Structure 1
């Protein structure tokens, strides 16, 4: 799991399945299209597009597909009805959820998400009821095993991240999660790379201020809920305050 994104965890299991992989490609292309229409087709001047491209690459979307998506979005400027949406919800065990999506029909997406939540003892809540429990952060994921020998030492890697400007760090198995202010995300990424550190992924995260630890049965229901939400084409990311 990358940070507190459950969608990324679910998608790791989908990559070997051709049908599921096609769904991942579709989600990535939507993300690129919205980014282009909001900030143009140059990833050097459009950080949102730069991140969308990195996400697409992490899903193994071919370079040609990415380039075609950018060209298509540039050619359709103003024509698309896709827009970003964000929903707040409670899941089993009082778990707080933030669900991000891209849709061409907000009413349909709202109803689809509401129906999925209701199947797993969850419910949507009004805007602002959940979001205050989280902080929006930049996130750099670093795999310990991919580093040169100097940085396969956890303390050395932590120190390098702090020196590069990390706001906070935490370990998730053998991945170091480096949290940053959003405005400094790529600046800190560059500083890490200049130290010879290999970056696994760059993304944004909703980082919970406090975490909850529901019962094991509730955790199992939550896992099924995350999978069901990610099956919806319009859902891009699912975040929670579930303890790791």
Structure 2
């Protein structure tokens, strides 16, 4: 099982501050609120909510917080009407970027996102301008010094994974989006805990930045997008992201 070896190079490895963690909790909570409204509060009957609970746990969101968000959404206490919007564009030197937003004010969010792209050497494009370069894939990452590569691979194959890679005590499992929940649940039942577990936009090809100015602009663009309350996810095809 091979062929998907870029995950560790396109994820930013910087340690998150308490403030950034709190922002992640808030963003996941917003997603969960929408999922409860659309499919109900029971994760057994709401696969989207079940996926988000797993995502929340992978990001160390406390169980009490998860329960409180679900109850609040089920009770109709959150009156905000959120809308899913996807923006596509290019960063410095043609780095492809997809921005997934969940907003209660599309004009504000569009203005913010466009401003970030313009300010840091990129440009916001039209729908479809870069998404054809990406494929949705379920990505599950398990880390641990005591992981046995052969055992993990056997368990992943048994669970129905499409791809498996092991390096430096880190196992990366890739699935078809339609198989993601089943594979994650099967591995969870086997006792595994996840560093990350979600459906991601994985690029087919990658772009490398070589000059320091472009790296700085790309870093600032990603920081501004990730810091925006309305932005849920940012996907890109920058290969040397750890150099930012």
Shorter chain as denominator, the TM-score bin is 0.7 to 0.9
2:24 & 2:180 partners in 1: Cα distance?
A: 25
1:69 is matched with which residue? 69
Give the Cα separation in 2 of the matches to 1:190 and 1:74.
Answer: 24
Match of 1:229 among 204, 225, 228: 225
SS at match of 2:117: helix
Contact 2:32 2:69 (8 Å CA) reproduced: yes
Q: How does 1:160-239 map to 2 (within 5 A)?
A: 160-170=155-165, 174-193=169-188, 197-217=192-212, 218-239=214-235
Residue 28 of structure 1 corresponds to 28
What SS does the aligned partner of 1:57 have?
Answer: helix
Offset at residue 208 of structure 1 (A): 0.8
Q: Which runs of 5+ in 2 are unaligned?
A: 1-5
Moved more, 78-87 or 46-55: 78-87
Structure 1 portions without partners, runs of 5+: none
Shift of 1:126: 0.5
CA distance in 2, matches of 1:196, 1:134: 31
CA-based RMSD of the aligned residues comes to 2.7
Quote the Cα distance in structure 2 between the aligned partners of 1:172 and 1:119: 37
Q: Is the 8 A contact 1:4 1:205 kept in 2?
A: no
Deviation for aligned residue 1:48: 1.4
Provide the rounded CA distance (Å) in 2 between the counterparts of 1:72 and 1:48: 17
Count of residue pairs brought into register by the alignment: 234
SS at match of 1:9: coil
| Worse overlay, 199-208 or 121-130 | 199-208
Distance 1:198 1:72, change over 3 A: closer
Question: Deviation at 1:142?
Answer: 1.5
Are the equivalent residues in 1 in contact too, given 2:142–2:170 (CA < 8 A)?
Answer: yes
Tell me how far 1:156 sits from its aligned partner: 5.1
Taking a change above 3 Å as real, the CA distance of residues 3 and 34 of structure 1, as seen in their structure-2 partners, is: farther
Rounded to whole Å, the distance in 2 between the matches of 1:211 and 1:226 is 16
Residue deviations 1:28-48 (CA, integer Å, cap 9, x gap): 211111111121111122121
Q: Which moved more, 1:198-207 or 1:128-137?
A: 198-207
Q: Distance in 1 between matches of 2:176 and 2:116?
A: 33
Question: In structure 1, what is the Cα distance between the partners aligned to 2:113 and 2:138?
Answer: 26
More deviation, 70-79/230-239: 70-79
CA distance in 2, matches of 1:100, 1:14: 20
- Are residues 146 and 234 of structure 1, via their aligned partners in 2, closer, same or farther at CA, if it must alter by over 3 Å? farther
Q: Which moved more, 1:63-72 or 1:93-102?
A: 63-72
Could you give the per-residue CA deviations for residues 136-183 of structure 1, whole angstroms, max 9, x where no partner exists?
A: 111111214252xxx1x3x55445434432223345764322111112
> Given the alignment of the two structures, is residue 14 of structure 1 paired with residue 16 of structure 2, yes or no?
yes
Offset at 1:51? 2.0
TM-score of the superposed pair, with normalisation by structure 1:
0.83
Partner of 2:42: 42
